[in-house]
Homo-oligomer: A and B are copies of this chain.
Amino acid sequence: MKYRKLCLPAVAMKHLLAVSVALNVALVLKLMHGGDEGVGWLKAEETLAGPPKKALQEMSSSGGVNGVQNNFESGLQELYINLDHGDPTMYESYWKQSGDKTTVVLSGWRSISYFSDTRNLCWFLEPDFANAVTRLHNLVGNAATENYHIVVGTGSTQLYQAVLYALSPPNTPEPISVVSAAPFYSQYPLTTDCLKSGLHKWEGDANKFDKNGPYIELVTSPNNPDGSIRQAVVNGTGVLVHDLAYYWPQYTPISYRADNDIMLFTVSKCTGHAGTRLGWALVKDEEIAKKMTKFIEIVSIGVSKESQLRAAKILDVISDGYEKKESHEENEPFFEFGYKEIGRRWRQLRAAAGNGKPFSLPDFPTGKCNFSGHEFETQPAFAWMECKGETDDCEGFLREHKILTRGGKHFGSRSKYVRLSMIGREEHFNEFIRRLSVINSLDSPLTKD
């Protein structure tokens, strides 16, 4: 066994920097009296039935996992904190306090038809949603919208597939290569190859790509998992697809108005509404936008109207918060909330992780945000953390301490790295920080570097 088991009574207190006793007490009380929120807290016997797998897989294949359910008597140590997927539940509290402004009322006869707007190239795009998207981009200044076609999708995951379909030559003997610089979003290879398509094939790390012929390069900026600001790396004539899911002012300074040929966005990481399963693409070329629309017609005959109508409302409320702010308004504007909350979490994480021992976190350049005016470092939705020292399996190490993360190998990187979500519920994040501080305070093999 590569590392010792955690032994709480032996904890050396001197390194417990970031977490106060008060926080622990508050947490214990919350756990004892708290609700049954389900996600994020997993009981050991229900999660660790099999070998380590990523949590979404476990959740969908293990036959179920329970939440806290007031079972405090079984001890905090038996509960898993799930930071594996980027479930953006951090935003729930903001929308709760925003009251009725975002409430959507849908009559039973609304949106019966497959069609939203037959005059639009993307005939299943709700005009209200298209308008709200354009308005928000124009407000924030993160992406150009003039002379772009908007294509709506069931999350940016479906739009990613639609882009691949649109860009793949239909009649070539070899599938087109799809690449992205490592570490890359773990979903790309899975989604690209799940049907063993003859149209396109995942070829991994763009830095190592040296094939001739056509290719598609994904440029994710800020990058998932590591938050880096990116440009294309392949020196060729391939087609670029920009995944800008995280190019919003709570995560990174908005330093330029993106005007790439194909840009992907998702409601999930912008507003936090992951359950809505809604994304949009801004596409310059009409033929590509048509083919993307065609793909979504073939695989799902359009996109939920309910999701579009609700998202339209929520995006408009965000814009209203800046453009129509009333003097008696107490609610913070949306991106300000996100910027402060994620900033606070990153400061907590950096303090708890130690300064390179036992964990290491990436540094980011500081920039001024044209939208908010704040000068700050990128503070990504995920932390890309390295286990220093002897431990090679960082995911496994953290799992031993009941912290679920996604190991580096899923992202085309080394297993000394993990990706962990920074945008889950506050109480889960705080408990994660407490545990990390405990690990840090131990005479752990991680510090024997």
What is the CB-to-nearest-CB distance from A300 to chain B, in angstroms, rounded to a whole number? 4
Question: How many positions in chain A have a CB within 8 Å of any CB in the partner chain?
Answer: 88
B contact residues around A101 at 8 Å (CB): 108
Contact yes or no, B88 A119, CB < 8 A: no
Q: Is the CB of B310 within 8 A of A306?
A: yes
Q: Contacts A106-B310, A194-B165, A276-B304: A123 and B87 contacting too (C-beta < 8 A)?
A: no
* Partner pick for A113 among B63, B87, B198, CB 8 A cutoff: B87
CB atoms of B112 and A298 under 8 A apart: no
A362 to B405, CA, bound (A): 59
- Assess the A117–B38 pair: CB atoms within 8 A: yes
Bound Cα distance A309, B275 (Å) = 11
Cβ–Cβ contact B38 & A118, under 8 A: yes
Indicate whether A107 sits within 8 Å of B102 (C-beta atoms), given known contacts A161-B299, A299-B161, A301-B277: yes
Within 8 A of B (CB), among A51-74: 56-57, 59-61, 63-67
Residues from chain B with a CB closer than 8 A to the CB of A286 are: 63
Q: Which residues of chain A (75-94) have a CB below 8 Å from chain B?
A: 85, 87-89, 91-93
Interface residues of A in 288-341 (CB under 8 A from B): 290, 293-295, 297-307, 309-310, 313-314, 317
Q: Is the CB of B157 within 8 A of A191?
A: no
Assembled-state Cα–Cα distance A100/B290 (Å)? 38
Asked if A103 is at the interface (CB within 8 A of a chain B CB), the reply is yes
Q: A59-B123, A165-B194, A272-B112 are in contact. Are A118 and B306 (CB under 8 A)?
A: no
Supposing A60-B294, A65-B118, A161-B299 touch, asked if A314 and B105 sit within 8 A by C-beta, the answer is: no
A415 to B157, CA, bound (A): 38
Whether a CB of chain B sits under 8 angstroms from the CB of A132 is: no
Does the CB pair B60–A275 fall under 8 Å? no
Bound Cα distance A61, B93 (Å): 42
- Given A194-B295, A197-B197, A304-B277, CB of A65 within 8 Å of CB of B112: no
- 9 closest A-B pairs (Cβ-Cβ)? A102-B108, A196-B198, A64-B119, A306-B306, A95-B109, A275-B305, A111-B275, A304-B304, A195-B197
Besides the contacts A95-B109, A104-B106, what 6 more A-B pairs have beta carbons closer than 8 Å? A38-B117, A39-B114, A61-B290, A102-B108, A102-B109, A277-B305
A-B contact list, 21 entries, CB within 8 Å: A39-B113, A56-B301, A59-B118, A60-B122, A60-B297, A64-B118, A89-B113, A92-B112, A95-B112, A103-B105, A103-B106, A104-B105, A108-B314, A154-B303, A157-B301, A165-B194, A194-B299, A195-B198, A195-B199, A277-B300, A277-B304
